Amino acid sequence: MVTGFNTNIEYQGAVYHVQTEHEGSGYPIITTILFQEGVALMSRKTSYLSCSRATSLEQAITEWMKAQHKTVLKELVSGNIPLPMKTPVTTAVADEGAI
């Protein structure tokens, strides 16, 4: 059974990491997290408890994970996920007339 997907993607000059995983039937949640430089920017969790009656549960979970993973990637590159603004680097200039 596939337990997760990982993708690094460059967008607007930054590299983002999208990770999707599930922890098994004891915790029937699919979690996708968007990271930048190790910092989690957002997460999406979906329960697959209602999917427990599927004929091929493993296949259904894998397909659901793929879909959620791809959705977050598409939302990132289409600008639908609010990203933190980078703080511009400023240089302090001393006022020679100041005491």
- Give the H or E element holding residue 9: strand 4-11
Q: Which two tokens stand for residue 89?
A: 């680097």
Determine the Cα–Cα distance for residues 14 and 61; give it in Å rounded to an integer: 30
Question: Range with the lowest mean pLDDT among 3-12, 34-43, 50-59?
Answer: 50-59
How many domains are there within the chain? 1
pLDDT digits 0-9 by tens, 10-50: 999 999 999 999 988 788 899 999 999 999 999 999 998 76
Domain assignment of residue 82, yes or no: no
Range of the domain at 20: 4-77
Is 95 inside any structural domain?
no
Residue-level pLDDT at 68: 96
Question: Is 65 within a domain?
Answer: yes
12 within a domain of the structure (yes/no): yes
What percentage of residues in the chain have a pLDDT greater than 70? 78
